[in-house]
Structure 1
Amino acid sequence: MTSASWHARISCGRETGAGFLVTDRHILTCAHVVARSRTDDVTVSFGVPFADGKRDLRAQVVAHGGWDGRDTDPGDVAVLELDHPVPLKPAEFATPSDAYGDPPRRLLAYGFPKRYDEGTLAEYRATGDQLIAGEWVQLEAWAAHGQPLVPGFSGAAVTLAESGRVVGMVSAAARSPEIRNGRMLPAHVMARYWPRLGELIPTPEYGRGDKERLRRLIEAVAERGGPRCELERLFRDAVGPLGPPLPPHGFASLWDAAWYLLSEVPDSGAAARFAARLADFVEDAPTRSALRSWPRPRRYPAPPRPPAVAPGWSPILVEIAPSGSGEGQFLVEVSAYNGRHRRVVGSRPLPVDGVRPYVLERIDEAYHELEPGARELIAFVLPRRWLNADVAHWKRSTDDDSPLGAFAPLVVMDLERRRSGGLQHKLLQKWRHLDAQPGARLHRIDCGAVGQDPVKLTIGLRRGADMVGFGTPPRADGTRRLFQASLNAAVPVMLWPRTGCRGEHRGGAHGDCTGAVFLDRLAEHLAGLPPGELPSHIHELRETAYASDAPEPHWAYDLALLWEDPRCLPDPVGYLHSPVG
């Protein structure tokens, strides 16, 4: 491997060093070797002449690691670009860990010290894999004799003796000739400063094409001003609470964080979670979608369903919860289920006025995660005080003013109940009972029932009701108490009008109010319908109501549906692979 033609001699002014070809036009060397490139020409020599007989080629510095002139400065990397491609096979790289082991690996460096214009070899080994100042690895001589690292070796590729693959680059030598050691910039450290190098270095699971796509996506994000979040936060979300800590040197760029996950974090899924989490802070929709599907679109086949399970809904779940950081601040998360697999499409803390546009945009993107034949169900999990919100009336998008509830089956769920193990267990029992029954029992709560005892109502509903219909919205205190009692009874289905009678009639005259009419029509419509199919039937009813040309609003125009079947939203098998899992 000592005859590899990709070794290069670099000259810039009075400085001579080494370098190595990594593409047909790009050479890596030390920044200090070409420090005078602004005033002096940079020439590159290979050991073979080319078609025109020349060995010396002109080159330009096209990338720089930020080295600032002192021995201890980081980023002593420069990328040179030739005017034309050369017909030489570039260097190949080893995996980042191949430079170390027990016994130590024999490493070779091919440099160009004085009186060795044709180059000479030095034999070294890495003292260990610990990075000095987060940047260098110490090299020590393989033997007490032989060629030491001296001027002319700067920029030389450090290769494995048995394979010739590159593991790093010589960046410095000991100042005293009695001390036979030096420093190496490992290849994975150099890739922090020149992202294209990461495509050439082998990494677990992700190939060259995967890394090129990620690099280009990160460049697109950086060109638009970068993500609106801290790099450290993206890293923590990617590795999870039990993952590795932040590196001591921190992250200098978005690519630096991504490359650290690709090259130094054992969990190969962390980089994909990083890309998906980054997507949530990117405004450009195509870039966001590409990040979320990186490294490639994944379709998870739904496992076979056991008998007597709920219909095959594929929910798009919207969870809105108080963030704990102040009044009017919420944590919003949008997910898509494919079978039992849950994919988080977006998760963001937001002020109340940012919730609606964010949710609508992420719902639209969540459809990319559903199979073409999936039965979509948009499910809003809301704080109890938001259950009467007009989410079904939200305009579907900036380009579509039609209500979201007319676009797809839409239901709401209670956040507190969804977090209760006891109530979820009771809901499962209710659905098991419903699966064995020919029809569901509807319990009416008329607008004149606001004085009913909530505790007695809870106990009674547990025994004898599958669905509850309210004649009034849960806004007045009395109705809210009965509404909460129904939630505590683990009733799977609750329906009510968002507007209309508030249950505050005087003298008990409730028979001809809008609430009574609503319940009569509701009972007529629900007769004989299986509860598991109610989201579809209510969706059709909403379409009819929204499209009605009658002078008076359709009786179901403001119909709200709380519908919860935990079997459709199971504890997700794949949730640990979500970006915020």
Structure 2
Amino acid sequence: MDGWRWRAWVGHPDGGKLGAAFLVSPARLLTCAHTVAGMDEARVGFPGLSEDLVARVRRLSDWRRPGDPGDVALLELPAPVPFAPARLAGPGDLTEPRRDGSGADPLGRRTFGIWGFPRRRDDDERYATVTTGPDLVLRQEWWQLKAEAGDWLEEGFSGSAVYAPATGEVVGMVTDAELGGREDGGDGGRASKGRMLPLTSIRMYWEGLDDLLPLAWLTPEARRALRALLDGVRSSDPLEARLAEVTGSASHRRFRSAWDAVRYVAEGWPGGALPRFLRAAAPHLDERTRAALEAWSAEHLPDAEDAEAESGAAPRPGAAPRPEGGGSGMASVIVRLERVTFDNAYDLTVHTWVDGAEGPAQRTVRVPERRVRPAVEEGVARARGAVVGRDWMIEFAVPETWLSKPFEEWYVDREHRIRMRMYPVVVRDVERLRPDSIRRDQAHHRWRLLHERGRSDPQLVRCGAPRAGTAFQDWLEANTDFCVLVYGTRPVKGWLSAALNTGVPVMLWTRTRCDGPSHDDCGGARVLDELARAVAGRHPGDLPNLALALRKKALAAPKDEQHCGRDLTLLWDDPSRLPDPPLGMEV
């Protein structure tokens, strides 16, 4: 019982219940702006525990009328209440599919509980079960809610927390119900559909919410101190220019504040990006804030300079960004091909990836193998509008047997005969896109190590290496720090399977097989050494553009000369770039 005492009603000072609210700290509650519109004070009650408390209404946005964004307000009590606040979900918890019995499906949809205070003679609260998920986003602000059979959304549910019944974890707040006629599934004041503001939207209007969320970057103490010293600091063109340098690409949106930019970097890029951004941003802050930031950095980031130097990262501030930089921050068209178990066909989905999150995705289509190339080229042509004008690449997430296909020779614009090699092209193991894949789990660990290291230390696999898959896999299992493999020839199946099974996230090879009688000084050995020199020491985020540059150099080289960029395949498998599984696909 004690775990649910954070649920409250909110009403007009003159009496009557208007909606719901939920306790987020000992003296603060969240509710909808429309519930307390025009009020400076509201009444708050915790049913059966403490009734008719007076709370000050604090407006958090420019909300004016139904349909406006920012339908959220803060209620501040004059004194703390003796009830534990709601447990809040972390931003990543809202989009990760769950396997805990909470009703997960491949799209990440889950069932949640809500409660409200519709007009009833008994004046009691009412409960309902709703379903939602990240694919039901509306205008990048709300998620659509669907009431379960037998339940309804009604007036009086506004401001209710949307929570997981098994844990009490809150993921958002009910804001609207599609009240209307029977075509809406309702009966007058009832509806089967509505909307919620996820916590990821609420934190855009109330930055203080970040002090309460379970965020993984920095310690809670350090994060609260950093947010406090940046409180009220507006974003600016110079700050956003420094952000683009650090991440490798400009964001598609304007930032509401300096803090908004800080969390964007901290949650979208590896750990070293945040210290680099703070150092680059410091000269653009006023003198008082700059001095406070320097003191904060000395206390909370004392080893940042040393760690960055050890990783091989460029010094900051004042240094130019890496010329190729930004693989992890680049936009993408992601082509996903899954082999079906019959008819020699493939399920094709074309996704986009923009600013660290999935953009528009196309409906999954089933195509016979002979139609895969034209279907992919048509899908990429339709998708490119979401990324044109940015730094972008093309990712092919394909079955293992397709990894050596010459995708860069396919057309990004068939009408004008423009090939995909005009852009960075990488391949990925489609098995790793499955949320429950062991291959994905293994790749996650090595990818994190690779980014913490900040440079590529390639391991060379020469043409004459032992070809038994078991021995190769034993070698990789015994060396968990091997993150980049460079092959002297197209890897045989045993090599490739072993590397994928053990989570190696980056591999490079030329697709030309070496047929030399001796491998002491064969063509494969020479290409291998040339490719390894090009890769060594490079930041992993640079590799897609490095492969692009090598392919261009190969085009200019004499055709009868070997070149490490000719017929080059780059497997570059960033497990954070994980588009939602297509509807109906097995997971």
Please indicate the TM-score interval, normalised by the length of the shorter structure: 0.3 to 0.5
Q: Which has the larger radius of gyration?
A: 1
